[in-house]
Structure 1
Amino acid sequence: MANKDGHRRFGNIRKLPSGRFQIRYPGPDGVIHTGATTYGTRTDADRALTLIEAQMISGEWTDPERGKVELAVYARDWIKERPGLRPKTLELYTWLLERHIVPTLGKVPVGKMTAKTVRAWRAGLLDRGVSVSTTAKAYRLLRAVLMTAVEEDKMISRNPCRIKGAGNEHTPERPVLTVAQVFELADRMADRRFRAMVLLTTFASLRWGEVTALRPSSIDLQTRTVRVREQLLELDNGEMRLGPLKSKAGRRTVSIPSVIVPVLVEHLAAYVDDDENAFVFLGKRGAFLRGSNFRRESKWADALKEMGVQGLHFHDLRHTGNTLAAQSGASLADLKARMGHDSDRAALIYQHATRDADQKIADALSARVEAEQKKAKKDDDDDGMAGALVPAS
């Protein structure tokens, strides 16, 4: 808008030798910007400056120069500028970006990203056979990158990732073992060192990285608790790295059923060195336990086949433990604290969960195991008595 002497209070207009009009204006950062295009009349140029001023007042203005940066360049910098990312997360983001985002969208300027562009990209992934789960992960990454472009760098005024439900993963229901099957699986481990690992993982609701990172000091057999403070990560390049847990809620102390204590006592005596830096579960050669080594040394697949159980993953032991704990009647808050659930409310839930309630979960699990074991023993005794009463021919 021009004042009485003909000068604008925001920006300025100049006539070029070509006869067209060019605009210049100060951005919120104090930098003087030159219009991305020129205008045929002074009125058109004046209208453009008025629109830009209104966008700045409403917070919708975007920097046209920054918007010219290609998505591949911006997204790679976005990942680099997050030093707090855990190694596995960094690997996942980099893989998703280079494999599923850059090939299609890498050359597109961030300022040219539209909802239609995103819809076409996502549809292309699904058409090429990329799984719904992987597509959802790639979509969430792209959405996070572009949200920074909107909120922090003012490169676009609105996030074009607006597909309802596109970031959701629909995974099939995982199998759950019975108590008897958990103990049978533990007994079927080809290497006895893994018997305790199966039982502790299940009845303490531990993740793979959590159980493989346990040290002797993590397990208190007197109070029947296990302290979870770190995790062991296996990177894509084969490197094994100890690192922090994914969330504050992951740092927890979990009560364990008394029925598995004798198994842990036996394991610690037979397989764990008397060293504060030792680890509770290692491979045969004393190195960090890798998933591939565990499956081979335990003959995991053979054990499942013998049991008639199909498609069970190691992580399903935690899922089984979570299910059994839920069936004990514990509250949602106590269950989430026990599981180290990673959510926006996880920290608050963890702080308010009580140790007494957690102990009740472990006691209920222990009572259930003992009841089923007594029932199985009684059934065996009854079968033996029945055989003794059959007269000899």
Structure 2
Amino acid sequence: MAAKKGMRGWGRLRPLPSKRYQASYIGPDGRLHKAPATFAAKIDAQGWLSAEQRKIELGVWRDPREAPKTVLTVRDYAERWQSESSSRLKPRTLDLYRSYLNRVILPGLGDVALNQLTVNDVRGWFAGLESYPTRNANAYSLLKTIMNQALDDELIAVNPCRIKRASVKHRVAEPVALSAREIQSLADSMTVDRWKALLLVAGFSGLRWGELAALRRSDFVLSGGENSVTVRRSVTRQAGRFVVGRPKSAAALRTVPLPSGLAFAIAGHLEELALAGSSGLAFPSLTGDFPHENTVRPHLKRAALVIGYNSFRFHDLRHSAATLFAQAGATLADHMTLMGHTSSTMSARYTHSTAARNKDLVEGMWPPE
């Protein structure tokens, strides 16, 4: 008689929707016994079955239900989840997740049994967090992701993370969108010449800080009627050192045209302040290393005060460029390409701002009386 699908010569293996494997067997007591956890690889599940079969053959098998049970906590499962995710996540993302676990999630929920975590537990934990909206939303999203995996592994019956809009990020401060002339004035107001061109490139290209900090001389083209900058890499600060890697996403690998009026300022900066050679850093620190945003920030805040802004962040330069692209008539597809967005939702926030201009264009289609 042919064995049923999922059956072995002894014991049973069952693939789960999560692509993990569940192992079980009929013990000497005539009862069905399941492995205490699922397995990432089929061979591991087979190994567990072989070990159980060997115990029976040697006469040392005991009913696992009679042995003291080890409680699988949220902490245990979260650690396992991050370990299994390490190969598919970027180092910077892993560091962020580790920070959310250690500082936000595990102090309040780590010791709770995984299969005993309730909606009320999660709601109470979330309500008791300090007022850091973005951090809290990210931590909640991470917890929900981990619990979804536990659900796929059939370790819990339902995901207890069911707080409406808990993962929605709320702005603490409204972003500032500078005009083109204000970006120029901001750069002129910088008291340190080394960072003037950096601000101009940021304000007219929309590059992220990590992309700007990693730029080399060869990433700029300022001749032959073409003025552009190409994003090939990004740099992050991890455990006190700079780490160069790929940008945030595949869409971030892009070439962004620059206004021809910037060519002179950029060329002068590269000649005087960039490191030597085609691979030399375009915007190095005084020590010749990658620049740190904390070094630029105080000078930027002082320059912003000069042009009348009491609150200004470096990321506002990216927001300014995004707004200028939209006001210049960039389509949604154009905007996504220029900004390196993977989601049309992000670019739509800016292209929608051209609705008034579109109304004028449509009115202009009507023939004059």
Q: TM-score, normalised by structure 1?
A: 0.68
Alignment CA distance shift 1:97-1:273 (3 Å): closer
State the 1:113 CA deviation.
1.8
Deviations 1:179-211 (A, max 9, x none): 221101111112212111111111111110001
State the 1:158 CA deviation.
2.1
Residue aligning to 1:10: none
Residue aligning to 2:149: 148
Match of 2:81 among 57, 63, 78: 78
> C-alpha separation between the residues in 1 aligned to 2:107 and 2:207?
38
Question: 8 Å contact 2:206–2:339 — kept in the other structure?
Answer: yes
Residue aligning to 2:99: 95
Give yes or no for the alignment of 1:159 onto 2:159. yes
Question: 8 Å contact 1:67–1:109 — kept in the other structure?
Answer: no
Tell me the amino acid that sits aligned with residue 157 of structure 1.
A
Match of 1:250 among 224, 249, 252: 252
Give yes or no for the alignment of 1:116 onto 2:120. yes
Alignment CA distance shift 1:160-1:26 (3 Å): farther
Tell me the amino acid that sits aligned with residue 23 of structure 2.
G
Residue aligning to 2:198: 197
Gaps of 5+ in 1: 1-24, 35-44, 47-63, 350-393
Q: How does 1:174-323 map to 2 (within 5 A)?
A: 174-222=175-223, 223-235=226-238, 237-296=239-298, 299-323=299-323
State the 1:212 CA deviation.
0.8
- What's the secondary structure of 1:81's corresponding residue? helix
State the 1:321 CA deviation.
0.4
Question: 8 Å contact 1:304–1:310 — kept in the other structure?
Answer: yes
> C-alpha separation between the residues in 1 aligned to 2:69 and 2:142?
20
State the 1:88 CA deviation.
2.3
Higher Rg of the two aligned structures: 1
State the 1:288 CA deviation.
1.4
Residue aligning to 2:326: 326
Deviations 1:21-56 (A, max 9, x none): xxxx9673232389xxxxxxxxxx99xxxxxxxxxx
Question: 8 Å contact 1:177–1:320 — kept in the other structure?
Answer: yes
Tell me the amino acid that sits aligned with residue 164 of structure 2.
K
> C-alpha separation between the residues in 1 aligned to 2:149 and 2:158?
11
Question: 8 Å contact 2:137–2:168 — kept in the other structure?
Answer: yes
State the 1:345 CA deviation.
8.9
- What's the secondary structure of 2:194's corresponding residue? helix
Question: 8 Å contact 2:205–2:256 — kept in the other structure?
Answer: yes
Tell me the amino acid that sits aligned with residue 251 of structure 1.
L
Question: 8 Å contact 2:332–2:344 — kept in the other structure?
Answer: no
Alignment CA distance shift 1:273-1:100 (3 Å): closer
**Aligned-pair RMSD on alpha carbons?**
2.7
Q: TM-score, normalised by structure 2?
A: 0.73
Gaps of 5+ in 2: 1-10, 15-21, 33-64, 348-369
State the 1:66 CA deviation.
10
Question: 8 Å contact 2:227–2:263 — kept in the other structure?
Answer: yes
Alignment CA distance shift 1:180-1:157 (3 Å): same
Q: Spell out structure 1 runs of 4+ moving beyond 3 A.
A: 25-28, 64-68, 342-346
Question: 8 Å contact 1:67–1:155 — kept in the other structure?
Answer: no
- What's the secondary structure of 1:221's corresponding residue? strand
Tell me the amino acid that sits aligned with residue 288 of structure 1.
F
> C-alpha separation between the residues in 1 aligned to 2:271 and 2:13?
69
Percent of aligned pairs with the same amino acid: 35
- What's the secondary structure of 1:31's corresponding residue? strand
